Amino acid sequence: MNQAMPNVTRNTRQRAEVLALLREVEGFHSAQQLHQMLLARKAGVGLTTVYRTLQLLVDAGEVDSTRLPGGEQLFRRCSQSKHHHHLVCRDCGRTVEVAGPAVERWADQVAAQHGFVDVGHTLEIFGTCAECVR
Amino acid sequence: MNQAMPNVTRNTRQRAEVLALLREVEGFHSAQQLHQMLLARKAGVGLTTVYRTLQLLVDAGEVDSTRLPGGEQLFRRCSQSKHHHHLVCRDCGRTVEVAGPAVERWADQVAAQHGFVDVGHTLEIFGTCAECVR
DNA sequence: CATCTATCGACAACGACTACCAACACCACG
DNA sequence: CGTGGTGTTGGTAGTCGTTGTCGATAGATG
Ligand SMILES: [Zn+2]
Ligand SMILES: [Zn+2]
Ligand SMILES: [Zn+2]
Ligand SMILES: [Zn+2]
């Protein structure tokens, strides 16, 4: 007959391609950009699969995601697994990982002062990097 | 003949309606939500105009905007016109306006250290407010 | 190999948002 | 008050990122 247990993650060629690309790429990129790169290297991966794989990786904590002011979602494989934030170039996606212990404390403290619990935060710094200025 | 100076902001009924609504409403709402409210009160304001007016208000610093995790843009008339951030309850949407001069300086300084220019940032603190804990 | 089923992917659909453009209505001026 | 011009409106069509659909495909297990 059969048994119910729809919880197996398969090791497919497409997921390996996406992961390999993310390992070589620097900074944040959109799903569509990554898809274009995969096309360029003749990796056979559909756009839908790119989206799904990225979402899987985000859920698994393997990939960080942020959103452009326009709402577009960007993805990046992060080197650190601990909590940190990003300084991102609006034009080329170059990213610097930054840590601000003082900011973390400030955020928690402000929230506590107002009686908030289970506190989290989002913080992104945007700008144009030195390369893109020229 | 004529003179060139396309920089006059007119005082239209539609803009007054949007502003009046924003004055009565509490917390963050999407453009479409606000449009629905305007429909309900029989104010004749098109969706396009709602979007345009909100963008005007954001540019003028009269209204603050943030983005839902899904990317949808939310708007709120803020009591302060100067730069500040928000502490938002995940459950009820209650919002506290907070200011952190130290954070502002830190963000600009970090960006400058890495050669970034034209720098901006986003910062939101999320949590569960005292009311919603009970 | 055989079989089961998670996964793929081309395409359609969706939702937020914007461009278009002819009709409209502020408002400075006469 | 009229009137002219020009900033503004708004229905509609289109853009764009993202997700749903569903038959075809291909991992994994024995
Ligand atoms: Zn750059
Ligand atoms: Zn943090
Ligand atoms: Zn609450
Ligand atoms: Zn700030």
User: Would you call B117 and A127 a contact, using CB atoms and an 8 Å cutoff?
Assistant: yes
Task: Give the span between the Cα atoms of B123 and B133, in whole angstroms.
Answer: 23
Max mean pLDDT range (A48-62, A88-102, B116-130): A48-62
Identify the three-state secondary structure at position A26.
coil
The yes-or-no verdict on residue B127 having pLDDT over 90 is no
CA of B104 to the centre of ligand 4 (A): 5
Give the model confidence (pLDDT) of B23-34 as tens digits: 999 888 999 999
The yes-or-no verdict on residue A5 having pLDDT over 60 is no
Mutate to test the interface with A, among B59, B114, B117 (most CBs of A within 10 A): B114
Residue whose C-alpha is closest to residue A118's, from B70, B90, B93: B90
What's the pLDDT at B88? 82
B70: which 2 tokens? Answer: 């899904």
Separation of CA A7 and C1' C1 in angstroms? 25
Q: What is the mean pLDDT of residues A55-67?
A: 91
The yes-or-no verdict on residue B67 having pLDDT over 90 is no
What's the pLDDT at A7? 67
Identify the three-state secondary structure at position A67.
strand
Indicate the helix (H) or strand (E) that contains A63.
strand A63-67
What's the pLDDT at B3? 41
How many CB atoms are located within 10 Å of the residue A62 CB? 14
Query: How far A123 CA sits from the closest chain B CA (Å)?
Result: 4
Task: Give the span between the Cα atoms of A77 and A23, in whole angstroms.
Answer: 7
What's the pLDDT at B4? 45
Q: What is the mean pLDDT of residues B1-27?
A: 82
Query: Which residues in chain A are closer than 8 Å to B102, comparing Cβ atoms?
Result: 102, 106
Max mean pLDDT range (A54-63, A70-79, B43-52, B89-98): B43-52
Separation of CA A122 and C1' D16 in angstroms? 25
Query: How far B100 CA sits from the closest chain A CA (Å)?
Result: 8
